[in-house]
Structure formats: C-alpha cells, structure tokens
Amino acid sequence: MDPSTLPLPPMKDLTVDNITENAIAMNSLCEDPRMKYVLERLVTHLHDFARETRLSTNEWMQGLLFLTEVGKICSDVRQEFILLSDILGLSILVDSIDHPKPPNSAATEGTVLGPFHTHDASELPAGSTMSADPNGQPLLVVCSVKDTAGNPLPGIKVDVWETDSSGHYDVQYAGREGPDGRCILRTDEQGTLWFRAITPVPYPIPHDGPVGRLLKALRRHPYRPSHMHFLMQGSGFEELVTALYLRNDPYETTDAVFGVKDSLVVDIERAGPEYATKYNVPEDHALLRYDFVLVSEAETTALRERNSKIALDKLGMKVRMVGGLPVPDLD
Ligand SMILES: [Fe+2]
C-alpha cells in the first residue's frame, strides 16, 4: 500500500477538537459497512468520554491496567469480561436491543444468559429430577410454552439450570464429574413440561477478582436474587434466554447484573390437592408455575429492523440493513 495514494486528509497538528473526525476518516477505508459504522460510533463516544471527563493520563493508565487484570483472570471456566459487561448493565442492554418483544403482547421477556450455561446437560424425560442436592428444598416446576396467538408449542427444546442450595453452579466445583442442577427437556403435545428441581437461592457473582474490587469501590454488593435459568429453542421461533426470579428475595430490586424484570418474578406456591394428585407430590410441596410465550423469528426480525430505524433516525441518519444489522445509508 502506497500511503501517498490514500484518499485521506493529512493527519497532522490534530487537536482536542478535530482528532475525532480525523480518526474516523482514517478508519473510513474499511470495506465492511457494519464494522466501519461500529468503529465510527466507538471512536466518537470514546473521544467524547475523554473530553467530558477531562480524563487524566493517570486515570487512562489505571483503566488500561484494570482491563489488563480483567483479561489475565479469564480462563476456560471464568469470563471476567462478561462479568464486567454484566455489572455495567451492558449485557442486559444488548439483550434488550437484539431480542425485542412485541409491545403489548404476552411474549416472555428475556434476561441475561450469565456465564454458567453449559452444553453438556442431559436430555431428561418429563418428571425427572434435575438436582442431586439433598439439602435443597424440593420444588415441582410445571410450565407451558405457547406462541403469541396462544397456541401450545410442542417439541420446544428447553434448557434449565440453577445453583445448588449453597448458591454454587456445578461448574464452580473443581471436582465436577458431570452436569448437575441442569437438564434439557422438551415440551409435550400440549406444549407443557414439568420436572423436579430445588427452590433457587441467592448467590454472589464471582467477586474475588478485578470486577469484585470494582463493585466494592462502588459500594455495591455482588449478589443475584434467587432465580432459575431457561433457554428455549424451537424451529421458526426466536431463541428465548430468560430466568424466573422469586418474589420478595432480599436482592430482588438490586440484582448485581440488572437482570430482574417484573414479568419474570414468580411466587412459590403450595402444590395443593390438584397438583399433589396429578404429579404425585405432597400437598404442601413447593410449586413453581409459569406460562412462557415465544415470538416468531419473522416477527422479531421485523421488530428489530423497525427499532433500528427509529434509533438511527434520532441520530439523523437514514439507515439500510446489512445482515440484519443497521448501517447508515449514504446513497
Ligand atoms: Fe444464575
């Protein structure tokens, strides 16, 4: 590449006021329109951040050393960058943008996946017990899965995972021999599923690393309220990553990763005579019921595009879609 032939202005004598437009120009030869747009916005916001905070060299270096520490503690079973994104509210924000739900519909809201989903859970028949923890409070879980028109959805693949009664996922134990506290089920012909679990408990996110130190400096606790994770997949439907949270948990309104939504907060009920007979449990057995509603892929795609156009319109940009994602339409 002969630098003298590049269609760029001279990059000299750059100032606080003109560095941004010149850095964007330097990146503007990128042939991938989406990458070019993302970098343009990233540079714009990073520069504005530095200008608005009057960022000192010392603070800039502190930030870089912090990110270096975040990287160093990552391993096959620990992802500190996801944790950092979670506690800054970025993960739930991206989830909300990328998985929109039709307004005024019964569609089940999504929430953060978290770092503890694995791909080795066993597929179990209806009624199975997913937790081997003898100290947990036994919980009967009975759910239905429907589409937004109310039709039951059979054959939906449902991943479920939760901690043990001490608030640890199986992957947090060094001697893990196989999956526990997790399973895969499929909805039956009536679009229902049921299984036995334990009542979820609150737990702290890993806080012995740089993210934990940041939380402490911000006078924040590291706890997540009691919850059970669900991931649902079915042909033609948008994947649903969500969780159910127990009402009146001490951390219900201060989740360290901002995952709680009112529509996902549930009461633990008593099984009562009807469920006790149908599912062969004592009448005072704990029961969790929930009706999930999935949105079609086509509806989600249309909604995502519509929301993108509205958001970029606010920035004064016409937009076209590339691979389902927006870029400015400069033609
Ligand atoms: Fe979790």
Please report, for the chain, the start and end positions of each structural domain, with discontinuous segments joined by +: 1-55, 105-207+219-295
| Model confidence pLDDT, tens digit, residues 234-275 | 999 999 999 999 999 999 999 999 999 999 999 999 999 999
| Model confidence pLDDT, tens digit, residues 12-36 | 788 999 999 999 999 999 999 999 9
Return the amino acid letter for 233: Q
SS3 call for 242:
strand
Instruction: Output the pTM of the full model.
Output: 0.90
Cα of 264 to ligand 1 centre, how many Å?
A: 14
Tell me the percentage of the chain whose pLDDT exceeds 90: 80
pLDDT at position 315 is 79
Name the band, by pLDDT with cuts 50, 70 and 90, for residue 69.
very high
How many helices (H) and strands (E) are present in the chain, helices listed first?
8, 13
pLDDT at position 264 is 97
91-95, 126-130, 320-324: range with lowest mean pLDDT: 320-324
Helix H or strand E encompassing 245? strand 240-246
Cα of 103 to ligand 1 centre, how many Å?
A: 27
Cα of 27 to ligand 1 centre, how many Å?
A: 39
| Model confidence pLDDT, tens digit, residues 282-301 | 999 999 999 999 999 999 99
**β partners of residue 229:** 161, 243
Cα of 116 to ligand 1 centre, how many Å?
A: 7
CATH topology assigned to domain 105-207+219-295:
Protocatechuate 3,4-Dioxygenase, subunit A (2.60.130)
Residue that has been written with the tokens 């951390």 in this structure: 251
User: Taking the CA atoms of the chain, what radius of gyration do you get in angstroms?
Assistant: 24
Cα of 113 to ligand 1 centre, how many Å?
A: 8
Neighbours of 219 (CB within 10 A): 6
Residue 3 pLDDT exceeds 80: no
> What rounded mean pLDDT belongs to the chain?
93
Bridge pairing between strands 265-266 and 240-246: parallel
Cα of 117 to ligand 1 centre, how many Å?
A: 9
Tell me the percentage of the chain whose pLDDT exceeds 70: 100
Cα of 198 to ligand 1 centre, how many Å?
A: 14
Cα of 170 to ligand 1 centre, how many Å?
A: 11
Name the band, by pLDDT with cuts 50, 70 and 90, for residue 196.
very high
pLDDT at position 331 is 63
pLDDT at position 191 is 97
Cα of 169 to ligand 1 centre, how many Å?
A: 8
pLDDT at position 125 is 94
pLDDT at position 313 is 86
pLDDT at position 165 is 96
Cα of 134 to ligand 1 centre, how many Å?
A: 20
Cα of 162 to ligand 1 centre, how many Å?
A: 6
> Exposure pattern of 34-45 as b/e (b: 16+ CB <10 Å)?
eebbebbeebee
Cα of 200 to ligand 1 centre, how many Å?
A: 9
| Model confidence pLDDT, tens digit, residues 70-126 | 999 998 778 899 999 999 999 999 999 999 999 888 999 999 998 888 888 999 999
CA distance 290 to 22: 54
pLDDT at position 328 is 82
| Model confidence pLDDT, tens digit, residues 168-194 | 999 888 888 888 999 999 999 999 999
Cα of 114 to ligand 1 centre, how many Å?
A: 6
Task: State the chain's maximal CA–CA distance in angstroms.
Answer: 83
